[in-house]
Amino acid sequence: MGLLDWAKGQFIDIIEWTEPSQNEILAHRFTRHKNEIKNGAKLVVREGQAACFVKEGQLADVKLPGMYTLDTKNMPILSTILGWKYGFESPFKCEVYFISTRQWTNQKWGTQNPVMYRDPEFGPVRLRAFGNFAFKVTDPGTFLKELVATDPSFELYEISAQFRNVVVSRFIDSIGSSKIPMLDLAGNYEKVGKVALERIAPEMAKMGVSLTQFFVENVSLPPEVEAALDKRSQMAVLGNLDQYAKFQTAESIPTAAANPGGLAGLGAQLGAGVAIGGQMGGAFAGAAGASGVVTPGNTVAPMAGAGAPPPLPVAVAFHAAIDGASAGPFDMNALAAHVRSGKLTRSTLVWKNGMAGWAAAETVPELQPLFGSAPPPLPM
């Protein structure tokens, strides 16, 4: 072995890149003094990498995973020792960029602001959505030319915002064109994700990147709309409000029985609960298409097909002070007869259940019509 062969063996270059595990580097420029690489250098490209050679500012070659010997047969020959004259080719400058082609997973995306969506059932609503995606560099040459350029260490954070903008924009287009009802979106995340993936792929390909996965984790509504939907669901679960009111009253019986006077108040609660349940049930029936006619006494007379009729009104009964003694009770027809006979006058004292005490008949609004046609008493 001559001195020249020995010298060449001492200066064999190994060009390789081991990506630091804690960094998110997409492209790394191999460092050499004045970018000079000597003849016979070894190039090692690992799985998940590609090596791009840039000569005189232009992309010259792309090497995929493997080991290569750089010589005059396949690459421009460069020298690591400038001015070395013994057996080395003249210096030639070339830049080597290592591109990470592995898959980058768990990249987050989400809408910064609510987006308008025309729902078939509820009309215009505002939606928020978020999820994650995965990508990889599939065209190292295009990726180098479009994004890396001359950056010696191109990291993920430099392009992640642009990727998210592309993903969110195309997702909004996808969900808008799908016309899936808002309440059915939860069961169609996979379908929407596939449509979005198809729309996003061409945009990413322009940068030498392929979107390998796209997932929708959640599509949500504004809090006030979600609260309204919760109320709607709660009413649907309650079902028959009349039966629900009765059930609630029955549940309170043990508590009422344990308190003094509780059962007395419970009777009033039961009546009020049944009445409220009936009124609410009638209101919901009316909203569904049934209609009624308002009758005197604030009762509702249902139209044909509206269900069972309401209970008959209870006749009003009054006691009257006739001939110096309490008489009655009398209904309105009997009271009218006493007015005609002169036994019941405007000044006659009357009383009914619910009044605080006896009062002149003319002061009771319900009895005033009885004296409309009768003349007042003669002045004394």
Is 108 in the same domain as 217? yes
**Average pLDDT, stretch 97-110?**
94
Name the residue range of residue 16's domain: 3-100
What percent of the chain shows pLDDT beyond 90? 22
Q: pLDDT band at residue 151, thresholds of 50, 70 and 90?
A: very high
Pick the range with the lowest mean pLDDT from 3-12, 77-86, 131-140, 220-229: 77-86
Q: Is residue 275 part of a domain?
A: no
Angstrom CA distances, 181 to 106, 110, 187, stand at 28, 20, 10
Residue 260 lies in a domain: no
- Predicted confidence at residue 87, as pLDDT, reads 41
Query: How much is the pLDDT for 379?
Result: 62
For residue 293, is pLDDT > 50? no
* Residue 94 and residue 129 share a domain: no
Same domain, 108 and 139: yes
Say if 342 falls within a structural domain: yes
Residue 112 and residue 67: Cα distance in Å, rounded? 46
Residue 36 · residue 80 · CB < 8 Å: yes
Asked if 66 and 119 sit in the same domain, the reply is no
Confidence at 155, pLDDT banded by 50, 70, 90: very high
Ranking 172-186, 212-226, 362-376 by mean pLDDT, the lowest is 362-376
Question: What is the domain-level CATH number for residue 133?
Answer: 3.30.479.30
Residue 322 inside a domain? The answer is: yes
Domain count, the chain: 3
Query: What pLDDT does 6 receive?
Result: 41
Residue 239 confidence (pLDDT): 66
pLDDT of residue 238: 66
Q: Is residue 282 in a domain?
A: no
Give the list of residues 6+ apart from residue 214 with CB closer than 8 angstroms, or none.
131, 133, 167, 193, 194, 196, 197, 200
Whether residue 93 is found in the same domain as residue 114: no
> Does a structural domain hold residue 257?
no
Per-residue pLDDT, averaged over 170-187, amounts to 81
Do 121 and 211 share a domain, yes or no? yes
Lowest-pLDDT choice from 62-76, 142-156, 204-218? 62-76
CA 118, CA 111: separation in Å to the nearest integer?
Answer: 17
Choose one of 193, 221, 249: the last residue of a domain: 221
The answer on pLDDT for 162 being more than 50 is yes
91 and 198: one domain?
Answer: no
Q: Which pLDDT band holds residue 75 (cuts at 50, 70, 90)?
A: low
Instruction: Say whether pLDDT at 13 is over 90.
Output: no
Confidence of residue 271 (pLDDT cuts 50, 70, 90): low
Section 189-210 average pLDDT: 90
Of 221, 247, 275, which residue constitutes the final position of a domain? 221
pLDDT exceeds cutoff 80 at 113 = yes
**What does the H/E/C string look like for 210-256?**
EEEEEEEEEEECCHHHHHHHHHHHHHHHHCCHHHHHHHHHHHCHHHH
Averaged pLDDT of the chain: 75
Q: Which of 178, 202, 221 is the last residue of a domain?
A: 221
pTM, to two decimals? 0.54
User: 42 and 93: one domain?
Assistant: yes
Q: Which residue has the higher pLDDT, 161 or 329?
A: 161
Q: Is residue 350 part of a domain?
A: yes
pLDDT of 340 reads 82
Least confident of 69-73, 84-88, 147-151: 84-88
Q: Who has greater pLDDT, 356 or 66? A: 66
Residue 50 lies in a domain: yes
Q: Note whether 83 and 171 are same-domain residues.
A: no
Query: Residue 4: what pLDDT?
Result: 47
* Same domain? 133 vs 63: no
Tell me, yes or no, whether 87 and 156 share the same domain.
Answer: no
Q: Which residue has the higher pLDDT, 237 or 320?
A: 320
83 and 121 share one domain? no
Q: Is the pLDDT of residue 179 over 50?
A: yes
